Structure 1
Amino acid sequence: MSHLERPVIRPRRLRRTAALREMVRETWLRPEQLVLPMFVREGATEPRPISSMPGVVQHTRESLRKAVAEAADAGIKGVMLFGVPETKDAVGSGANDPDGILNVAIGDAVAEVGDAMVVMADLCLDEFTDHGHCGVLAADGSVDNDATLERYAEMAVAQAQAGVDLVGPSGMMDGQVAVVRTALDAAGHSETGILAYGAKYASVFFGPFREAVDSSLEGDRRTYQQDPANVLEGVREAVLDVEQGADIVMVKPALAYLDVIRQVRDAPELTGVPVAAYNISGEYAMVEAAAANGWIDREGAILETLTSIRRAGADVILTYWAVEAARLLKA
């Protein structure tokens, strides 16, 4: 190659050293942006491993408190709690029982870390119903949207009374955020925030989560969770949630829906609204399985996965790797 043929523009100049690469890096992943989802099982005397999610357990109340403190020490700023009750019924009575496992776990977490972390809780009936659906069933077996909203209102108030910082309505019922906001305000909990599962898809990647919460699901959730083929519908749902009073909107799952995260982030109606994304159980399990077989570098895959979700536009990431990722980032 002659002198004249040599390239003048050389983007590789800015990749030559680690310092140069970091100086021009467009996307940063920080521990403060991570939230750890956690499961707590009623009546458990020791943590129970979840076979499809290596490294994740159903906690006892005591092990949950220790794990929450460990998460705070790692520098992450939030936990999302899910309860696994001993008994279930058709209307999910345990969801709003002050002595129910999720509400006492909220109290345990708040007592452990106070304002050092944001304590969030899933606001849905699927863990508490004997049929495994996210709402109350009508006579024909379908999920009754408006009857379910009444239960969500009761559940929201119970969680607020337990001390939760953010409730996470995730059932994808029409009008759920408005009903929850109204119920919280009427009960004197106007400071309790709402992290709304704005765009939640009927995904096969939820599979391991079913084991994590001992799901009793009969059938599927395609009549209320969104069609994986739709993007604009997800944006519309997120916008509606903000109009109804949501403080943060979330896209779930994350990896197969990076385009949805980006469009939600870029929607003019959502300017200034924090966007979260949930790196769900099946996405976690895929990486863990590949790493266990020696097919990929596990730690590299964890950080690359989470960075891709940040790059797509998520301000907050819920991930089962939160604590480990925080330590890797600090290292």
Structure 2
Amino acid sequence: MVTGRRMVTVFSLGGTIASTGTPGGEGGGVAPRLGAKELLDAVPGLDGAVPGLDGSGGLEAVAFRQCPSGDLTFEDLIALAAEINARFEAGAAGVVVVQGTDTIEETSFVLDLLIDAPNPVVVTGAMRNPTLASPDGPANLRAAVQVAASPEARGLGCLVVLNDEVHAARFVSKTHTSSPAAFRSVAAGPVGRLVEGRLRIAVRTTPLATVPPPTGPVPPVALLTMGFGDDGRLIEQVAALGYAGVVVEAFGGGHVPARTVAALERLAAAVPVVLASRTGGGDMLRTTYGFPGSERDLIARGLIPSGFLDGPKARVLLSLLLGNGAGTEQVRTAFAGI
């Protein structure tokens, strides 16, 4: 246990921030190859960036995984949450998780739900890999360490830090394929920013109810997006494939074509079906519209509104609930608090 200083543990999982050239040479693309220690060593002036931190005792580097973020699994994140909790019990003030940006919006929310501690957990990555002329990884990692070491970040749940913006995991989404400003929180905006290396918190979020880490495999949950002219045949296929639950991304505030309603009702009678919006922002409606396929109609047929969670995040919560053996009514109760 480190005394008299703020200790931050940095876990690396791979991703663009850790990617370098492949053995194929020029034209072979990049792949994750760098670990936490190499990433920290590449950040100029990190030792002096945060009072109380130094390279010999204030920072711990852990190469936890080495893969594109799309290859991460719930089992990986459950194991990571256990390691994070162990660091907090040993006296760490905060944790930084470095990974690929493709799934940050989901993995950060998994950690938000699994970790029941006030200590900051900060997830970061990069949009530009280290072989480019202007990689953003070192700046993002520096900012993430500063936030993780800051007492002002305590009690905010899991945070995502990129481009000097601080986002709550429950709200953030990746909204661009390549821009360094790809991450946005449509529903709420950033909760804070880094200004000259200082953390400025503008909004303090209310902690979400945590979910116990599943002790066995997390069952498969489908994510189904409704499209213009949808005839519902994919709904029938999903029902036949053995998914333990389904999240339906509907139009607007929770609407689907009337011709798909019967299939959704049959599906909801078999497994928990959560109703989210494909818009990516705003609470699900519950009582406004009354036509066939509206949110009132679908809720009456057994679908469960997702609250403010978008489709990917609703799938994360539903997966963890089902991994703990929750039935439909327990799922309904959990989402009622969102």
With normalisation by structure 1, the TM-score equals 0.27
Higher relative contact order (CA closer than 8 Å, sequence separation 6+) = 1
- Structure with higher helix content: 1
With normalisation by structure 2, the TM-score equals 0.27
